[in-house]
């Protein structure tokens, strides 16, 4: 493909995540964005009943049962001449690692805030992750059709809590049950769900508030937004589909195009002619009938075409991309071609792992995809001993997917799973039963902390031999020290100062 055509295609891509505290309306907003973009005819509703409750982006059984998102869903659709790759992330903090990995694959984020609750704890943590990666953020203040904080107070709270300049892009017309639409501050247009006369009290109040807005709040600045220092703020109600098209139009107008990506050797520019891609997510059993295994790849540069041969950098092997796929949550279609910024699925049988790099031959690895040390450790208790082999396979696959972290004790005792929160254990138990037919329970362990150990090979080998009963291997075979308490961890680290005990491991790197 000519470089001019390649650059044109890449410039059309908008790849973004939706982040929020649980119950702020993230998944409902996702559904409404998809509907506004013409991707679905009937938007689901997390709190509705029957078929309407089965939201398109929440497709797993446990998600439908509990009304929460526990995995990132990927939706690709077209709107306003742009190709959107929308990644709906889990809101619950127990699935923060999946969300963090997803944020390595996007160019911007839409931060959803509950108009009544403002900045909540999970919102703050997710924003901090975005800031670490310099990801530009668009803010959507949701649920303006309910009792809400004053818009000026909300703007001030966002500014103070996040140390971020706020520039209103729209302004609400009416409040709570009288909320009927928004005023576009840049286009100077009224977008309302019902006709309003200028004499309407809501229009009179709007005029008065706009004078204050123009006098007191920062103006839009594209450079500041791109640098992650300023967020445009949109008001609306996802439930009533007010303000949704405002948000989509903004992403078309100034949503960041695919960004450059760092590797262990150089920075890869999106418009380079050769294809590179990062595997940021693995999902098993999206189609339980076929026991499939899908690797989600962010195309970082160039053009990916169906049938092309690529190098799997970690193994050094080459393989052909026979059936790359675009996703719409659980649904999929063949991807004949994809460009930098696109997210494609690559069917595989365990070859690809989170953090892997694909290239057209160049030896490089994308960086910034981490594993965090788990906060909860449990032994797995198998209900039926005859299914031990099946359990080993299932734990291996689900650990590769990132559902849990798997540690195999070097003394031969039963495997230990590590998670950030207890809800992950519920998901593991439900998926083992539903997808693999394996019933399990959990037992406590004498360990409360896990740290990866790195250092000189000889000294590391001596340490492992001396502490065999407290050592385990992770999924990659890297050594992990298990401690009974924070005190024991500190003491062990002090007594072995020549070694490093780390709580973050970069996926895909050569650890030791």
User: CB neighbours (10 Å) of residue 37?
Assistant: 19
Q: Is the pLDDT of residue 96 over 70?
A: no
301 with 378, same domain? no
Query: Was 495 annotated as part of a binding site?
Result: no
CATH of the domain at 480: 3.30.70.3280
Beta 230-235 vs 165-168: how paired, if at all?
parallel
- Where is average pLDDT lowest: 143-152, 212-221, 488-497? 212-221
Query: Was 292 annotated as part of a binding site?
Result: no
272 with 406, same domain? no
Query: Was 264 annotated as part of a binding site?
Result: no
Q: Is the pLDDT of residue 201 over 80?
A: yes
In a domain, 501, yes or no: yes
Exposure on the CB side of residue 304, measured as CA atoms within 13 A: 31
Give yes or no for a contact between 48 and 119, defined as CB atoms under 8 angstroms apart: no
**Could you read off the pLDDT of 176-198 as tens digits, one per residue?**
999 999 999 999 999 998 998 99
236 with 291, same domain? no
In a domain, 184, yes or no: yes
Query: Was 374 annotated as part of a binding site?
Result: no
What is the SS3 assignment for 406? strand
Query: Was 302 annotated as part of a binding site?
Result: no
197 with 282, same domain? no
Query: Was 143 annotated as part of a binding site?
Result: yes
In a domain, 177, yes or no: yes
pLDDT confidence of 381, banded at 50, 70, 90? Answer: very high
Strand ranges (DSSP E) for 45-202?
Answer: 73-79, 82-88, 108-114, 137-142, 165-168, 170-173, 181-184, 189-192
- End-to-end CA gap in the chain: 41
Q: Which of 191, 224, 255 is the C-terminal boundary of a domain?
A: 255
Query: Was 285 annotated as part of a binding site?
Result: no
Query: Was 450 annotated as part of a binding site?
Result: no
Per-residue b or e along 130-164, where b marks 16 or more CB atoms closer than 10 Å to that residue's CB:
beeeebbbbbbbbbbbeebbebeebbbebbeebeb
Q: Which of 230, 255, 280 is the C-terminal boundary of a domain?
A: 255
| Pairwise CA distance, residues 470 & 479, whole Å | 10
Query: Was 389 annotated as part of a binding site?
Result: no
Find the domain containing 284 and state its range.
262-359
What is the three-state SS of 186-242? Answer: CCCEEEECCCCCCCCHHHHHHHHHHHHHHHHCCCCCHHHHHCCCEEEEEECECCCCE
CATH of the domain at 176: 3.40.50.300
166 with 314, same domain? no
Query: Was 75 annotated as part of a binding site?
Result: no
Query: Was 92 annotated as part of a binding site?
Result: yes
Query: Was 170 annotated as part of a binding site?
Result: no
162 with 28, same domain? yes
Q: Which of 255, 285, 300 is the C-terminal boundary of a domain?
A: 255
Query: Was 467 annotated as part of a binding site?
Result: no
Residues contacting 306, CB < 8 A, separation 6+: 321, 322, 323, 324, 334, 335, 336, 337
Q: What is the pLDDT of residue 27?
A: 85
Query: Was 168 annotated as part of a binding site?
Result: no
Higher pLDDT, 446 or 282: 446
Distance of CA 306 to the CA centre of its chain: 26
Phi, psi of 15 (to 5 degrees): -115, 115
**Could you read off the pLDDT of 404-428 as tens digits, one per residue?**
999 999 999 989 999 988 888 998 9
25 with 119, same domain? yes
| Pairwise CA distance, residues 133 & 262, whole Å | 11
Q: What is the pLDDT of residue 314?
A: 93
The arithmetic mean of pLDDT across residues 35-59, rounded, is 51
414 with 355, same domain? no
In a domain, 400, yes or no: yes
pLDDT confidence of 70, banded at 50, 70, 90? Answer: low
Could you give the angle at the alpha carbon of 245 between the alpha carbons of 229 and 259, nearest 5°?
A: 40
**Could you read off the pLDDT of 301-337 as tens digits, one per residue?**
999 999 999 999 999 999 999 999 998 766 788 999 9
**Could you read off the pLDDT of 332-380 as tens digits, one per residue?**
889 999 999 999 999 988 789 889 999 999 999 998 787 889 989 999 9
162 with 292, same domain? no
In a domain, 1, yes or no: no
Beta 165-168 vs 82-88: how paired, if at all?
unpaired
Query: Was 456 annotated as part of a binding site?
Result: no
Q: What is the pLDDT of residue 53?
A: 36
Q: Is the pLDDT of residue 254 over 90?
A: yes
What's the structural domain count of the chain?
3
pLDDT confidence of 42, banded at 50, 70, 90? Answer: very low
Q: What is the pLDDT of residue 269?
A: 97
Q: What is the pLDDT of residue 120?
A: 86
- Where is average pLDDT lowest: 88-92, 336-340, 368-372, 392-396? 88-92
The arithmetic mean of pLDDT across residues 126-144, rounded, is 89
pTM assigned to the model: 0.84
In a domain, 364, yes or no: no
247 with 194, same domain? yes
């Amino acid at each position: 493909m000519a470089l001019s055509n390649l650059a044109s295609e890449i410039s059309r891509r908008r790849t973004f995540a939706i982040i929020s505290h649980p119950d702020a309306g993230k998944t409902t907003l996702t559904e409404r964005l998809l509907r506004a973009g013409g991707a679905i005819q009937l938007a689901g509703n997390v709190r509705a009943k029957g078929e309407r409750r089965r939201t398109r982006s929440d497709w797993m059984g446990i998600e439908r049962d509990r009304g929460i998102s526990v995995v990132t869903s990927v939706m690709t659709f077209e709107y306003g001449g742009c190709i959107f790759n929308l990644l709906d992330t889990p809101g619950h903090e127990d699935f923060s690692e999946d969300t963090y990995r997803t944020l390595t694959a996007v160019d911007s984020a839409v931060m959803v805030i509950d108009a009544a609750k403002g900045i909540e704890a999970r919102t703050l943590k997710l924003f901090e992750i975005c800031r670490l990666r310099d990801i530009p953020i668009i803010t959507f203040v949701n649920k303006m059709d309910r009792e809400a904080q004053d818009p000026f107070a909300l703007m001030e709270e966002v500014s103070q809590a996040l140390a971020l300049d706020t520039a209103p892009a729209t302004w609400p017309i009416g409040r709570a049950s009288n909320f009927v639409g928004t005023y576009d501050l840049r286009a100077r247009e009224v977008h309302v769900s019902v006709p309003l006369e200028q004499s309407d009290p809501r229009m009179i109040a709007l005029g008065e508030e706009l004078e204050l807005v123009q006098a007191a709040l920062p103006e839009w600045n594209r450079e500041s937004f791109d640098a992650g220092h300023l967020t445009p703020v949109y008001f609306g109600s996802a439930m009533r589909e007010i303000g949704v098209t405002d948000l989509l139009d903004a992403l078309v107008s100034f949503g960041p195009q695919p960004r450059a990506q760092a590797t262990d050797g150089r920075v890869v520019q999106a418009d380079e002619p050769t294809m590179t891609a990062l595997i940021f997510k693995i999902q098993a059993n999206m189609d339980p009938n076929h026991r499939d295994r899908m690797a989600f790849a962010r195309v970082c540069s160039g053009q990916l075409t169906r049938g092309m041969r690529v190098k799997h950098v970690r193994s050094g092997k080459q393989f052909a991309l026979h059936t790359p796929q675009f996703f719409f949550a659980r649904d999929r279609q063949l991807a004949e071609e994809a460009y930098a910024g696109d997210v494609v699925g690559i069917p595989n049988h365990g070859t690809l792992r989170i953090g892997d790099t694909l290239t057209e031959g160049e030896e490089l690895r994308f960086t910034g995809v981490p594993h965090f040390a788990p906060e909860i450790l449990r032994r797995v208790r198998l209900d039926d001993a005859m299914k031990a082999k099946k359990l080993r396979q299932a734990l291996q696959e689900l650990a590769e997917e990132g559902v849990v972290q798997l540690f195999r004790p070097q003394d031969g005792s039963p495997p230990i799973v590590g998670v950030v929160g207890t809800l992950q254990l519920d998901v593991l138990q439900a998926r083992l039963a539903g997808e693999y037919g394996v019933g399990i329970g959990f037992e406590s362990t004498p360990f409360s902390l896990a740290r990866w150990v790195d250092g000189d090979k000889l000294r590391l080998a001596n340490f492992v031999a001396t502490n065999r009963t407290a050592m385990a291997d992770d999924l990659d075979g890297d050594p992990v020290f298990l401690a009974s308490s924070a005190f024991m961890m500190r003491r062990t680290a002090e007594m072995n100062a020549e070694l490093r005990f780390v709580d973050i491991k970069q996926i895909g790197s050569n650890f030791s």
